[in-house]
Amino acid sequence: MDVPSQADPKPLSLARRTWLLAEMGVLFLLAPLGIYALVHIGRLPLLHVLLPVFVLFVLALSLDRTFSWREQLWAGIPLAQLRQILVKFAVIGGAIALYAYLWTPESFLAFPRYRPELWMTVMLFYPLISVTTQEIIYRVFFAHRYAALFAGNLWLVVTVNAALFGFSHIIFESWVAVIGSFAGGLIFAYRYFAGRTFWGVMLEHSLYGNLIFTAGLGRYFFTGVSSFG
**What are the DSSP calls for 12-32, one per residue?**
PPHHHHHHHHHHHHIIIIIHH
Cα dihedral 73, 189, 95, 180 in deg (nearest 10): -120
Domain-embedded: residue 71? yes
Backbone dihedral angles phi then psi of residue 11, each to the nearest 5 degrees: -60, 145
Looking at residue 222, its pLDDT comes to: 82
Domain-embedded: residue 6? no
pLDDT digits (tens, 9 = 90+) for 132-170: 999 999 999 999 999 999 988 999 999 999 999 999 999
Closest to 109 in 3D by CA, of 210, 222, 220? 210
Split into its structural domains, the chain has a count of: 1
pLDDT at 14 over 60: yes
Domain-embedded: residue 1? no
Domain-embedded: residue 36? yes
Q: Which domain holds residue 208?
A: 14-221
What is the SS3 string spanning 53-117?
Answer: HHHHHHHHHHCCCCCCHHHHHHCCCCHHHHHHHHHHHHHHHHHHHHHHHHHCCCCCCHHHHHCHH
Is residue 156 within 8 Å of 74, Cβ to Cβ?
no
Mean pLDDT, the chain, integer: 92
When pLDDT is cut at 50, 70 and 90, the band that residue 7 belongs to is: very low
User: Taking the model in full, what pTM does it have?
Assistant: 0.92
When pLDDT is cut at 50, 70 and 90, the band that residue 4 belongs to is: low
Looking at residue 2, its pLDDT comes to: 53
User: Over the Cα atoms of the chain, what is R_g?
Assistant: 18
38 or 195, greater pLDDT: 38
Domain-embedded: residue 229? no
Mean pLDDT over 62-69 rounds to 96
Domain-embedded: residue 7? no
Domain-embedded: residue 3? no
Domain-embedded: residue 2? no
Looking at residue 47, its pLDDT comes to: 87
pLDDT at 57 over 70: yes
